[in-house]
Structure 1
Amino acid sequence: MWALCFRGRVSLTRAKRWTEGNVVAVPLEDGGFGFGVVVEEPLVAFFTRRANTKEMPADISSAAIAFSVWVMNNAIGKAHWSIVGTIDLPSHVELDPWFFKKDIISGKYSLYRHLEEKPALRDDCVNLERAAVWEPEHVESRLTDFLAGREHQNKWVRSLAL
């Protein structure tokens, strides 16, 4: 945080870290880096691209998307992921994806995005992400496993699976 002073008044502000198109370098558990792009806070789309350094690959915009999830707001910044560049959102990034929810009491399913929720059948949820906000370390684990071809073995993916 830093302070601005205007005519004797102090205003505390923080640098904006969640700007659409910001590319973040995600450290992988087995070394190297994966990459994600901010779609809209807290949604980040993660690419199927890895590199040995955290320098943004020139071809990142054309890389396929591995998955898109909501991420804790502390993920981007000093403690976790560095912003390594900015791109226009690729056309293959879904801007407002549906997520699924399952009520733990009734067992009923629903589809959710932003503030919109509608009833669903289990079959409607099969290829969707569970509505959850991921810790940065859990994303790092998942992206490591995805890029190694073992995403379905990842403990965080299994814990949130349908």
Structure 2
Amino acid sequence: MGKRQKWTRGAVVTVPLGDGFHTYAQMLEDPEYAFFDCKTQDALPAVTVVSRPLLFRLWVMRYAHSTGRWPKIGVAPILTTLQEPVWRYNQDPLRPQDIRITFDGCNGPLGSLTDCEGLECAAVWDPEHVESRLKSHYAGVPCRLTLSLRPRVVDV
């Protein structure tokens, strides 16, 4: 692992993908990252990274950056669209018929399975799971972790 790092809003980090490839993410509001579509073997400047298309935004465990697993390469302005909160869903494990549509993972109106389409689950990801999701994306195959987090249909 690399040098220990603190959270820096706007910092761009390198996310390893294996086989000499990597991509990049930007630190938003702790613990959220924006992941950009830029699989490469080259070192890109932070301002170039944030001009690439957005893949997704996820909450990620602190040790992704604090251990230096994802090293910082610089800081770039956060795009206005990335400063807005993102709707996510949270399915109650004790009352699975209750699905909340929320910004913060806890509070929000009840929603339906249809309301969850296109939304991320309100979950904090381990960095290795994010790396696996990115590898699946670039391989053009479904990510089993993302599929496992989809809301499930329940009989009431």
Cα deviation code 1:105-153 (max 9, x no counterpart): 2221111222642211221111100111000100111112213322xx2
Residue 111 (structure 2) pairs with residue 120 (structure 1) = yes
Q: Relative to 1, partners in 2 of residues 1:29 and 1:141: Cα closer, same or farther, differing over 3 Å?
A: farther
Considering fraction of residues, name the structure with more helix: 2
Matching residue of 1:145:
136
Counterpart among 99, 105, 109 of residue 99 in structure 2: 109
Matching residue of 2:52:
63
Q: Could you tell me the percent identity over the aligned residues?
A: 31
**TM-score with structure 2 length normalisation?**
0.83
CA contact (8 A) 1:32 1:54 kept: no
Matching residue of 2:75:
86
Return the index of the structure with the highest Cα Rg. Answer: 1
Matching residue of 1:161:
150
Considering fraction of residues, name the structure with more strand: 1
Q: What are structure 1's unaligned runs of at least 5 residues? A: 1-14
Q: What are structure 2's unaligned runs of at least 5 residues? A: 152-156
Equivalenced residues, count: 146
Please tell me the root mean square deviation across aligned C-alpha atoms, in Å.
2.0
**TM-score with structure 1 length normalisation?**
0.80
- Inter-partner Cα distance in structure 2 for 1:118 and 1:45: 25
